[in-house]
Amino acid sequence: MGRKSIVLLVAVATAALIAAAIAAVYWQPGTGASGVGPASLRGSPAQSFTVPRLDDHMSSLNNFRGRLVVLNLWASWCPPCRAELPDLQRLYDGYRGRNVVVIAVNEGESAERAGAFARALRVHFPIFLDENQSYGRVYAALGLPTTVIINPAGRIVQGFDGALTFDQMKAAVVPLL
């Protein structure tokens, strides 16, 4: 092999290596940016924290694994939450026989405040008292109310920012049954 061939070989190898280097540095499959808010959580495992319930028991989301969970974050100072809770009660009454459970997670308020509000609205599905706002932090709430649908395997199927109507709740839940 002559000197010219060697130089040519080195030049080709150099060009190939540089091309590979540039490709490796710049090639990024897809994107990790999946937006913000509860809708961005779709497909993620639902995180669970053990917190007191309004009925004095300690409970966590994991206790409801195997059921379709409608997790609703709310607070007593939030007018849209007040409007939405009776519809959640309707959903709970209509579908609890079909393996659906509604859990309302009160964000950061005392049992006294949350209890008075729940009693006034006559809701009797499980109410979690999330005093440290752990659920609120991990479920990417942009405001209240926030609703997340979790499948029986414990994965988030859908997330909603803002109040839902009864029809929207049904449309989210029924296809998963």
Per CB under 8 A, residues contacting another protein are 6-7, 10, 13-14, 17-18, 20-22, 24-26, 28-36, 40-41, 44, 47, 49, 73, 75-78, 107-110, 112-113, 131-134, 136-138, 140-144
Judged by CB, which is closer to another protein: 40, or 60?
Answer: 40
Q: How far apart are CA 58 and CA 88, in angstroms?
A: 22
Q: How far apart are CA 139 and CA 95, in angstroms?
A: 24
The crossing angle, in degrees rounded to 10, of helices 166-173 and 79-95 is 50
Minimum distance between the CB of residue 41 and another protein, rounded to whole angstroms?
8
Minimum distance between the CB of residue 48 and another protein, rounded to whole angstroms?
10
Judged by CB, which is closer to another protein: 40, or 63?
Answer: 40
Judged by CB, which is closer to another protein: 60, or 134?
Answer: 134
The residue whose two tokens read 């609205």 is 121
Q: What residue spans of the chain are helical by DSSP H?
A: 3-26, 79-95, 111-121, 134-138, 166-173
Minimum distance between the CB of residue 97 and another protein, rounded to whole angstroms?
32
